Amino acid sequence: MSSELRWHPFLKEWVIVAGKVQERPVLPPREKCPLCYGGIEVPKPYDLLVFENRFPSLTKETSDITPFEDEIYKLRGGQGICEVVLYTMDHDSSVSRMPLEQIEKLVLVWEDRFKDLSSLEFIKYVFIFENRGEIIGVSLHHPHGQIYAFPFIPPIIEKELNSSKEYYDKNNKCLFCSILDKEKGEKDRLVYENKYFTAFMPFFGKYPFELHIYSNRHLGSLSEMTYGEKMYLAEMIGKIAKAYDNVYGFNFSYMMVLHQKPSKGDYPFYHFHIEFYSLHRDKDKIKYLASVESGAGTFINPLAPEDSAKLLRDSIGRLEK
């Protein structure tokens, strides 16, 4: 069954209806892990591997869908590509435990997939992400991430593009570069800096432990980075993943999303960044998204970014000892 896009007439955004997703295995026992070598997806040994999701939210073929449109309702095929990225053969590993060179390879694979999928005529946006931990809704524990190549620009990206364009037109400066300057100036939300990247808990974070990584140089995507920048990005991601796990001493659940420019067109006002969100708000407390977030669209962040930044900085300090 192909995936469908249904237009939400008053929120003005696409909803994906994808029956295939219902068939995904949910938390199979370890010996039945489909992502381990010998499992159903990977008959051969591998290092880092990308394959198409067997239960995709967006399908390559949508010829069985008949598009229709009246003044209110609109439906079309959800043509896109969903890929799975296996980070390592080691079932018990994670970004926080992988050797740096494995994360470096991951960054190079992301760049490759970003370029490749972006070049497809029907793709408008390539979204690279990782869900980690059962509280986030992860159905397989084996270390992996995903890529959704969308036939439209998703609404959060659209909003970021609109705001950064508006700011750029008015101030002749990049909104993200300006945020970076502010955070570097105010310092109390900074978490970690390396040669080419800066990690901080933004002033306006919606989630507890929301962290952003910005490239220090103004650029729009992985494919505009030098080799050196990609290597430092890997170092940064590894450090942040370790720091998260070290905050409370358990595998920290998170969502990690790459925000890059869309696949087609020119976006000189947009700036590459990575956002991490978590639902942990204390050692044994979880922040659930409920009515106010889902029904009113307003987020309540129970943990001030200044406080979570301090927790993460202390965590990095303990790692370095």
Minimum CB separation from Zn ion for residue 56, in Å?
Answer: 20
Q: Looking at beta carbons only, is 90 or 120 nearer to Zn ion?
A: 90
> DSSP label at 163?
H
Toward Zn ion, which CB reaches closer, 62 or 253? 253
Residue spans of alpha helices (H) in the chain:
100-118, 155-171, 175-186, 227-248, 291, 305-320
Backbone dihedral angles phi then psi of residue 285, each to the nearest 5 degrees = -130, 140
Q: Closest by alpha carbon to 213, among 222, 204, 202, 226?
A: 202
Q: Which tokens belong to 244? A: 């998260």
Q: What does the alpha-carbon distance between residue 14 and residue 80 come to, in Å, rounded to a whole number?
A: 13
- CA gap 311, 245 in Å, rounded: 12
Start-to-end CA distance of the chain, whole Å, equals: 54
Half-sphere exposure of 208 toward its Cβ, with a 13 Å CA cutoff? 18
CA–CA dist 213, 195 (Å, integer): 13
Please give the DSSP secondary-structure letter assigned to residue 79: B
218 given a catalytic annotation? no
Containing 232, the helix (H) or strand (E) segment is: helix 227-248
65/257 with CB nearer Zn ion = 257
Instruction: Identify the burial level of 85 via C-beta atoms within 10 angstroms of its C-beta, where 0-12 means exposed, 13-18 middle and 19 or more buried.
Output: buried
- Distance CA(17)–CA(42), nearest Å, equals 28
Q: In whole angstroms, what is the distance from residue 16 CA to residue 2 CA?
A: 11
- State the nearest-atom distance from the C-beta of 317 to Zn ion, in Å: 27
Q: How far is the CB of 57 from Zn ion (least distance, A)?
A: 20
CB of 74 to Zn ion, least distance (A): 27
Task: Give SS3 for 30.
Answer: helix
For the chain, how long is the longest CA-to-CA vector?
Answer: 64
Interface residue list for Zn ion (CB under 5 A): 33, 35-36, 91, 142, 174, 176-177, 218, 259, 271
Q: Which residue of the set 8, 91, 141, 144 is catalytic?
A: 144
Min separation Cβ 293 and Zn ion, Å: 17
Shortest distance, CB of residue 177 to Zn ion, whole angstroms? 3
Active site residues: 144
